[in-house]
Amino acid sequence: MKTTQIENAGRRRFIIDTSVLGGGLMLGLGSVPMDALAQKNPAYNQNSIMNATDPEVNAWVNIKPDETVIIRFVRSEMGQGTRTGLAQLVAEELECDWKKVITESPTPGQSVARKRVWGEMGTFGSRGIRISEDYVRRGAAAARMMLMQAAANEWNVPVSELTVNKGVISHAKSGKKTTYGKVSEAAAKVTPPDPKSITLKDPRTWKVAGKPLSRIDTSDKVNGTKVYGVDLQLPGMLCAAVKACPVFGGKIVSYDESKVKNLRGVKGVVKVNDGTVAVVADTWWRAKTALEALPIVWDEGKGAGVSSKDIDQMMLNSLNETGDFALRKEGDALGTIQNAPKKMEAVYFTPYQAHATMEPMNATVRITADRAEAWVPTQTGEGSFAALSETAGLPLEKCELYKLDAGTGLGRRAAAQDFVRTATLIAKQFPGVPVKMMWSREEDMTHDFYHPLAVAKMSAGMDANGNITGMHIKVAGPSIRATLFPMALKDNKDVFQMQGLYAEPDDAQMGYSFPNLLTEYVMKNTHVPVGHWRGVNTNQNAIFLECFIDECAKAAGKDPLAYRQAMMQKFPKHLGVLNAAAKKANWDKPTPVGSHRGIAQFMGYGSYSACVAEVSVKGNIVHINRLVFALNSGHVVNPWLVKEQIEGSVVMALGAIFNQEILIENGRVKQTNFDSYAPLRLASVPKVESVLVPSYDFWGGVGEPTICVVGPAVVNAISKALGRPIRNFPLHKENLSLA
């Protein structure tokens, strides 16, 4: 049996028997209901427009006789701009005319049918570009070589005598010219080059990539014609509203269907699983209205006795325990601190956060006896595909998954595919009928996988000159992996909760040399599910480390920048962004009267970030006067889009740092909507200045790395202004609010 593996919602590997797919190239093809996905923007297609019989140059590139260049894009687009960025990389190596580029997105079913020729589809962890850039660029370069070889064959000249510019192939000796569109069909028959033999362009010579080109998918976002998952309208479609037990883990005792089944439009009340009820109706509003009227008796379970004050206390108490494991034990940190002439200690607290994606969780599913189809805004096309197959009880070759661009992802639509499972369970009870399941904002906010609450006890010993001789970092809190990938965890050793404090380079290395270092993690799980939230564990770990470093600098009587620089000499890339941000922010010059600066640096997702904030504090109101970033992501595929990711990270971070927190009351989430969990609005957002300092020797992420430095830079500036440490988040606990 030939097999391949795809991610199944992170739980386990889903083994696909590809041998049964032999000759299955037709699988799923031509079955995309285009009407439902009709777009008025001609430059991109959310799914596939190809037919199985269409010639293609290769998996990544097809060129039509009219010179249209179709680039295949299989990651998810949720606003981060990866569709445009990957298309730029392909166009760069292809040497085509950027103005002729459109994209299409093969489905997971189409990919599996071709033995996953397009590779993984997961779009999380800031990896959309950095994980695929190499094979995508090689695919494009191979296509260019095949197109040129086809022209060389036609003219019977050596390919080395040909040149290409914007899709026009020229033979200088004979003066002959042809175009990609004219040789595309012949190129499809050329033997592809060995991808490993291809020399890719030096990024410093890029002409299309590396430029701040406009997105290729903006125009239908400004006139209401872009189709999101919630906008699907399929023939005969019904709509479902869902209610899970308000207390996580609670179960249904009973519900009284008779009270709602005769309401207008209601088609049925569905028990989804032990803890979830749905109402299905002709419109979603009618389904939701009936669901609100449905009397449900819950067995709330033991979680009902738990509130935030219990959870907070448990976490703080756990800081007195020894860690489940030491991530790093270098020298004798505890002994050094104990014997140090000067000791520092601080306890920090950061709360749960909700994703609150702008578009609530949704999925549309249609199931017949031998076929399951789903339309899903997802960050993992293959994860959703596997969740559909498993829940529908149908093998992958009888399933298809149509990805839709998501109304933000923020990590919610990735590892946990609960929304696909729920929608599939509902649709199973309406065979043949497409059922669009959407969660209300309240359901979405109260049944999230929350950014984990975390606490830390930071301890340092300093010598007579104020230099740190020993550092002890003890972090405690719930583990994301324990919630989402319990089988992957051994002995509570969840190193991921220490993200950003690693010794190893590459992903999230701590950028300081401490002569003696101990980092520990105490895992304390609750009944509240936790998950990946933009920046994930770099968010709190950057606050713990970078705010504490500032407290130490102050105790040492040293400038926070110089204090850091002295400890960062072995980490030139960390130091590079720190210095770049300081320079742009004029750190060496005095601040305006009443204004105070703070600085922070951190590494995450393979990239290096630093931030300088300039604030003034009037009463309890914080004004952010200036916010400067430096980012080294190795390469920059589209600087405009990279800067937009930094600007977006600032908004999400400041909202979480100042206002937002998820609290638990009697087992359930207290915040239910944007009134009680209020994201930042325009009036509060400072202008962001970004400096991109790529070093061209690695590929780092972009979507998440900068979010974690916002908080510590701003808070360090506030601490400077107030002359006191700030350790409790969100900052309303410190009687502070953002202007």
Binding of another protein by 230 (CB under 8 A):
yes
Cβ closest to another protein, residue 221 vs residue 302? 221
Q: Distance (Å, rounded) from C-alpha 532 to C-alpha 530?
A: 7
Sites for another protein among residues 657-696 (CB under 8 A) = 673-675, 678-683, 685, 687-688
Binding of another protein by 223 (CB under 8 A):
yes
Span interacting with another protein, options 205-213, 364-372, 393-401, 601-609, rule CB under 8 A:
205-213
Measure Cα distances from 55 to 45, 91, 115, 188, 554 in Å: 18, 19, 18, 7, 67
Three-state DSSP class for 327?
strand
Cβ closest to another protein, residue 12 vs residue 441? 441
Cβ closest to another protein, residue 643 vs residue 720? 643
Q: Binding another protein by CB under 8 A: which of 104, 324, 463, 647?
A: 647
- The conformation of residue 452, written as its DSSP 8-state character, comes to P
Cβ closest to another protein, residue 407 vs residue 511? 407
Please choose, from the candidates 352, 250, 348, 347, the residue with its C-alpha nearest in 3D space to the C-alpha of residue 308.
Answer: 352
Question: Whose structure tokens read 């020894």?
Answer: 322
CB of 616 to another protein, least distance (A): 17
Cβ closest to another protein, residue 75 vs residue 226? 226
Strand pairing category for 435-438 and 362-368: antiparallel
Cβ closest to another protein, residue 5 vs residue 696? 696
| C-alpha 28 chain-centroid distance | 28
Binding of another protein by 219 (CB under 8 A):
yes
How many residues line the site for another protein (CB under 8 A)? 66
Q: Distance (Å, rounded) from C-alpha 408 to C-alpha 386?
A: 22
Binding of another protein by 360 (CB under 8 A):
yes
CB of 690 to another protein, least distance (A): 8
CB of 266 to another protein, least distance (A): 12
DSSP 443-459: HHHHS--BBPPEEEEEE
- The conformation of residue 58, written as its DSSP 8-state character, comes to B
Span interacting with another protein, options 45-53, 240-248, 403-411, 602-610, rule CB under 8 A:
403-411
Q: Yes or no: say if 525 and 479 are a contact pair by the CB < 8 Å rule.
A: yes
Q: Binding another protein by CB under 8 A: which of 116, 137, 643, 720?
A: 643
CB of 377 to another protein, least distance (A): 9
Q: 301 burial class (0-12, 13-18, 19+ CB within 10 angstroms)? A: middle
- The conformation of residue 467, written as its DSSP 8-state character, comes to -
Binding of another protein by 215 (CB under 8 A):
yes
CB of 64 to another protein, least distance (A): 21
**677: which strand partners?**
none
CB of 327 to another protein, least distance (A): 32
Give the pair of three-digit tokens for residue 204: 């410093």
Buried/exposed 80-106: b ≥16 CB within 10 Å, e otherwise: bbbbbbbbbbbbbbbbbbbebbbbbbb
Sites for another protein among residues 378-397 (CB under 8 A) = none
Looking at 24-132, list the stretches that DSSP marks H as alpha helix, in order from N- to C-terminal side.
82-94, 108-113
Binding of another protein by 644 (CB under 8 A):
yes
Cβ closest to another protein, residue 239 vs residue 552? 239
Measure Cα distances from 501 to 509, 514, 541, 557, 648 in Å: 6, 12, 8, 25, 24
Strand pairing category for 371-377 and 399-404: parallel
Sites for another protein among residues 584-623 (CB under 8 A) = none
Q: Binding another protein by CB under 8 A: which of 13, 302, 309, 441?
A: 441
Cβ closest to another protein, residue 230 vs residue 475? 230
Binding of another protein by 308 (CB under 8 A):
no
Please choose, from the candidates 466, 456, 458, 469, the residue with its C-alpha nearest in 3D space to the C-alpha of residue 339.
Answer: 469
Span interacting with another protein, options 310-318, 521-529, 539-547, 646-654, rule CB under 8 A:
646-654
**Which stretch of DSSP H or E encloses residue 236?**
none
CB of 381 to another protein, least distance (A): 17
Binding of another protein by 221 (CB under 8 A):
yes
Please choose, from the candidates 110, 96, 115, 6, the residue with its C-alpha nearest in 3D space to the C-alpha of residue 51.
Answer: 110
Q: Binding another protein by CB under 8 A: which of 26, 293, 358, 621?
A: 358
Cβ closest to another protein, residue 227 vs residue 456? 227
**Which stretch of DSSP H or E encloses residue 124?**
none
Residues that bind another protein (CB under 8 A): 78-81, 98-99, 211-215, 218-228, 230-231, 233, 239, 264, 283-285, 356-360, 405-408, 410, 438, 440-441, 639-641, 643-644, 647-652, 673-675, 678-683, 685, 687-688
